[in-house]
Chain A
């Protein structure tokens, strides 16, 4: 390489070569050293890469802006203040056609977090049961656990969600609804059951009471034993709730509202819509098979010698499980569990297939209706990145807390 460079330099400057080498000699040395220098090559390569990437991004943005301007859509986040004009069939907060885009998107994000959080909780409980069944010495339990895992893990989650949705929407209409217990009805409009009727204010007060209580428990952690603290806390919380509910409630609202048939539909109580239930059931049953395998892997990863050491020390099998097996298994499985949680949270997006208005569904409807493609895609990606990084953050905190202290 260096020789090549030299030849090229010399022939190009024959005059200098014939006359006096000194001025060109410097340039020759400089150039050949430059190309031989790894530092120079590395820098050039990286600068070139950075420039190419920047050009790509700029050209994408410019093309996008031109195309969107051609459609006559104003860029920017001003549209968030406009009203949407379309209703949502399921929402934790109150939303109507008169709500702004900002509120509807927020409702969608809450829907995603609601179904995702419930999925994680139930799938973990069911997964734990499956794992215990599969590591038990009872052959029948093992068999049932294995069949469950193989069936539910090997079928796409979206197919499972479609299946449950079809089952739930083929139930009888509200007029012929199944009555499971007094005030609990199951029909093709969903599961209805009685619920305490809270206003927004009540909920806010309860939340405040809960936060105050948590701070109290945390602050008193050195003063009392754990049992006393929790019993005391529960008592205080009960009294607080009773006082708040007695004083802060509006007069004519009954404490508990029960669903009742009015015309063709149920009024009152809480209803779990088939879209919500089908998505939740599908994700929980699917997720549990994966989480069960992760927990089982963790339980099996615990070194036999440690369990035998527990036996040798005279611990009971319950103590061995509680003090040795579960803590060690928990450490081993936490990273895979975090990945699975993130995956399940992302998996909630299949809800759009059956009409559950999760964050993705709301964003895609908004794109259709308002044309604010770039802004909404930014919000969509931002939302998921925030959710996933929060799960990762929380699980890492947990990992830091439980990991073996001392030299690793």
Chain B
């Protein structure tokens, strides 16, 4: 009996692997070399700028020369402004705690244990309520801090979670109304959703901040922040409603028919049968929408709110640290990146899991 032959060198082993992934054809080889050089240069420049040549601490800010590398001292000096805005210095622990309340809420709602039509809203109301109470204070010896003083990352998180808490129920109402069998209600909701979707978010927020005071009696106006959050929530709901509608349409008609044959009332049908399935089927798109919403909170900078983007701009706007704009923008980008990348990775993982039929 002959000995087993060694595997052909061209198809297995390290050389074959290299050949397959880097030198498949002659142009592949050229691209590989070009990209290897690019990656090497890029990494070298990045590490050199951000770590090797970086200045971490300075006694006075004139020591920050711009050419050598990053001057991270700006973050040490202005970090609190970026994270907390104009929130009173002694109370900033409350702002930190409040942010953690919402972050924990987000983390908990990623657990399948909380995916029920009763637990999830409860979780968010509790988390958001804790955030507002901590930020606002005015009880148990905590000094009152009104929303005009809120700023930085905590304002970003407030807007995001406020939009989510108001927008999600609104989205359910929009989706149900659009699928209603009453043509007047279905058509007018559809028209409204389409109009909102075809307008830029900025114009809607601008209208809420500037135009609504002209059109609505004074007792209904609320603060500017309230109006903007509600308008943002309507915008979010118009997009989310279409996602939920897709989910509702993906449940077979037979289920609704069976429910009405059993004499189930409409609300029970919606709450117990349709919505759980609709949400579950559209979880990846919902997370994607949440990701987009988190990024778009940065737009409120333009209409004069002091959230993290604006406070970052303020940190370099004074002239003292005017040359450290790259460091500050990179810091802001990292803040957004941590939230957004984390959420979108989770969404991708969930999508994969659902395709395999778990979830």
Residues of A with Cβ closer than 8 Å to B? 42, 45-47, 49-50, 53, 60-61, 63-64, 67-68, 137-141, 143-144, 150-151, 154-159, 162-163, 166-167, 170, 342, 346-347, 349-350, 352-353, 360, 364, 367, 373-374, 377, 380-381, 384-385, 388-389
In the assembled complex, the Cα of A360 lies from the Cα of B329 at a distance in Å of 25
Task: Report if A352-B202 is in contact (Cβ < 8 Å); known contacts: A46-B185, A138-B32, A140-B31.
Answer: yes
Contact: B39 with A155, CB < 8 Å?
A: no
Task: Report if A60-B35 is in contact (Cβ < 8 Å); known contacts: A53-B188, A156-B296, A377-B207.
Answer: no
Task: Report if A389-B198 is in contact (Cβ < 8 Å); known contacts: A42-B182, A46-B183, A53-B188.
Answer: yes
Task: Report if A388-B215 is in contact (Cβ < 8 Å); known contacts: A140-B35, A158-B309.
Answer: no
Contact: A159 with B298, CB < 8 Å?
A: yes
Of A49, A61, A389, which is within 8 A of B184 by CB? A49
Residues B200-220 near A (CB distance < 8 A): 200-203, 206-207, 210-211, 214-217
B243 to chain A, nearest CB (A): 12
B195 at the interface (CB under 8 A from A): yes
Residues B294-329 near A (CB distance < 8 A): 295-296, 298-299, 301-302, 309, 313, 316, 323, 325-326, 329
A28 to chain B, nearest CB (A): 26
Of chain A, the residue at the smallest CB distance from B185 is A49
**Chain B contacts of A349 at CB under 8 A?**
200, 202-203
B307 to chain A, nearest CB (A): 11
**Chain A contacts of B326 at CB under 8 A?**
163, 166-167
Contact: B325 with A350, CB < 8 Å?
A: no
In the assembled complex, the Cα of A167 lies from the Cα of B316 at a distance in Å of 13
**Chain A contacts of B133 at CB under 8 A?**
none
Residues B7-36 near A (CB distance < 8 A): 20-22, 24, 28, 31-32, 35-36
Contact: A138 with B200, CB < 8 Å?
A: no
Task: Report if A155-B336 is in contact (Cβ < 8 Å); known contacts: A67-B214, A170-B325, A367-B210.
Answer: yes
In the assembled complex, the Cα of A352 lies from the Cα of B203 at a distance in Å of 11
Of A64, A151, A360, which is within 8 A of B203 by CB? A360
B221 to chain A, nearest CB (A): 11
Task: Tell which of B70-78, B249-257, B270-278, B337-345 binds the partner.
Answer: B337-345
**Chain A contacts of B333 at CB under 8 A?**
155, 159, 163
A-B Cβ contacts below 8 A, count = 141
B38 at the interface (CB under 8 A from A): yes
Known contacts A156-B299, A163-B325, A380-B203; 6 further A-B pairs (Cβ under 8 A):
A49-B185, A151-B337, A159-B329, A166-B316, A364-B206, A385-B198
In the assembled complex, the Cα of A232 lies from the Cα of B198 at a distance in Å of 42
B5 at the interface (CB under 8 A from A): no
Contact: B199 with A346, CB < 8 Å?
A: yes
Of chain B, the residue at the smallest CB distance from A368 is B210
Contact: A346 with B301, CB < 8 Å?
A: no
**Chain B contacts of A170 at CB under 8 A?**
323, 325
Of B195, B301, B302, which is in contact with the most chain A CB atoms at under 10 Å from its CB?
B302
Of A46, A163, A385, which is within 8 A of B329 by CB? A163
B259 at the interface (CB under 8 A from A): no
**Chain A contacts of B206 at CB under 8 A?**
360, 364
In the assembled complex, the Cα of A207 lies from the Cα of B287 at a distance in Å of 47
Residues B35-56 near A (CB distance < 8 A): 35-36, 38-39
Contact: B203 with A384, CB < 8 Å?
A: yes
Of chain B, the residue at the smallest CB distance from A158 is B298
Contact: B39 with A144, CB < 8 Å?
A: yes
Q: Would you list 7 pairs from A and B whose C-beta atoms are within 8 A, ordered by A residue?
A: A49-B184, A63-B217, A140-B31, A144-B38, A347-B200, A377-B211, A381-B199
B145 to chain A, nearest CB (A): 26
**Chain B contacts of A352 at CB under 8 A?**
202, 302
Contact: A137 with B20, CB < 8 Å?
A: yes
Residues of B with Cβ closer than 8 Å to A? 20-22, 24, 28, 31-32, 35-36, 38-39, 181-185, 188, 195, 198-203, 206-207, 210-211, 214-217, 295-296, 298-299, 301-302, 309, 313, 316, 323, 325-326, 329, 332-333, 336-337, 340-341, 344
Contact: B215 with A60, CB < 8 Å?
A: yes
B37 to chain A, nearest CB (A): 10
Contact: A159 with B198, CB < 8 Å?
A: no
**Chain A contacts of B21 at CB under 8 A?**
137-139
**Chain A contacts of B181 at CB under 8 A?**
42
In the assembled complex, the Cα of A45 lies from the Cα of B203 at a distance in Å of 33
In the assembled complex, the Cα of A378 lies from the Cα of B31 at a distance in Å of 52
Of chain A, the residue at the smallest CB distance from B186 is A46
In the assembled complex, the Cα of A163 lies from the Cα of B313 at a distance in Å of 10
**Top-4 shortest CB links A-B:** A346-B200, A46-B184, A156-B298, A140-B35
A74 to chain B, nearest CB (A): 15
**Chain B contacts of A389 at CB under 8 A?**
198
A387 to chain B, nearest CB (A): 9
Of B24, B202, B295, which is within 8 A of A156 by CB? B295
Of chain B, the residue at the smallest CB distance from A71 is B214
Of chain B, the residue at the smallest CB distance from A142 is B21
Contact: A63 with B215, CB < 8 Å?
A: yes
In the assembled complex, the Cα of A401 lies from the Cα of B216 at a distance in Å of 47
**Chain A contacts of B313 at CB under 8 A?**
162
Contact: B211 with A373, CB < 8 Å?
A: yes
Contact: A45 with B182, CB < 8 Å?
A: yes
**Chain B contacts of A157 at CB under 8 A?**
295
A116 to chain B, nearest CB (A): 11
In the assembled complex, the Cα of A293 lies from the Cα of B110 at a distance in Å of 24
Contact: B200 with A50, CB < 8 Å?
A: no
In the assembled complex, the Cα of A49 lies from the Cα of B325 at a distance in Å of 53
Task: Report if A384-B199 is in contact (Cβ < 8 Å); known contacts: A137-B20, A141-B35.
Answer: yes
In the assembled complex, the Cα of A158 lies from the Cα of B295 at a distance in Å of 9
**Chain B contacts of A384 at CB under 8 A?**
198-200, 203
In the assembled complex, the Cα of A166 lies from the Cα of B326 at a distance in Å of 8
Of B39, B215, B332, which is within 8 A of A143 by CB? B39
**Chain A contacts of B298 at CB under 8 A?**
156, 158-159
**Chain B contacts of A63 at CB under 8 A?**
214-217
In the assembled complex, the Cα of A141 lies from the Cα of B326 at a distance in Å of 27
Contact: A346 with B201, CB < 8 Å?
A: yes
**Chain B contacts of A140 at CB under 8 A?**
22, 31-32, 35-36, 39
